[in-house]
Amino acid sequence: MLLSTGLAEKLYGMLQKFNKGFQIKLLLMNLISRLIGIHELILLNFYPYLQKYIRPHQIDVTKILLCAAQATHEHVPPDTMALLIKEILNNFVSERNSPEGIAVGINAIREICARCPLAMDSDYLNDLAQYKKFKNKNVTEAAKSIINLFREINPKMLKRRFKIRPTEAVKELSERNFEYGALNAKSYIPGTEVLPINPSTTNADDDKIVEDEKAKDSDGWIDVSHSEDEVYFDEDDEKEEKEDEKEEKEDEK
């Protein structure tokens, strides 16, 4: 972890001083974001640096948004990620932008929230949910995807008309503690409710089934007894007899 943090900090220092080509700078951004996301590093200065390039007319802006999503994880302070989401909202998700830009912005926010749900504000979320009725299909699909995401991870943030009927999973989410750094440990192993309460009874039942199958197999076979008078012929014996008959006929001739 310390080696990864040191490497990410060195690469970020190189990124700040690098001025020879944007494509190489973009590769550095991608590498740093992967290090942060995979190893869950804390490099808070990296996110404000990305905000400078989050503009609709920026070259390869989708790759920069991808770097922002890759560098997101649940241990990043929500306030830091909230500023990044606000930047995307202001620059992409507005009526003055094209439908393609709005869809890109909503999808980028969804990816960030999937990794850090606490970064989203309920007011911003319900504003994004309003795009469900937008005229463009890509925008409506993006809005539906972020609604479905929060139905799964934190349905409390949605307004009533965007919620679904409460299920066992939703009830479990309502009891979850959505605070930064909170540990949501479970007192049970998920899936154990379908296991039998008394495993010894199931073992006995399995043994009984095996015995019944063996009995059925034994009933299906019929023992045939052979009498002493029965004679069995072999194919080789038949061939020898035919050859002997041929020789006898030739001798007679």
pTM exceeds 0.85 for this model:
no
Question: CA dist 250 to 203, 242, 243, 246, Å?
Answer: 75, 13, 11, 6
For residues 37 and 27, what is the distance between their CA atoms, to the nearest angstrom?
15
Residue 191 backbone zone (phi > 0: left; psi -120 to 50: alpha; other: beta): left
User: pLDDT 10s per residue in the chain (253 long)?
Assistant: 667 889 999 999 999 988 888 999 999 999 999 999 999 999 999 999 999 999 999 999 999 999 999 999 989 999 999 999 999 999 999 888 899 999 999 999 999 999 999 999 999 999 999 999 999 999 999 999 999 999 888 888 888 888 776 655 555 555 565 566 556 556 656 666 667 666 555 555 566 666 666 665 555 555 555 554 554 445 555 666 666 677 666 666 5
> Rounded to 5 degrees, what angle do the CA atoms 112, 73, 144 make?
25
3-state SS, 165-195, equals CCCHHHHHHHCCCCCCCCCCCCCCCCCHHHC
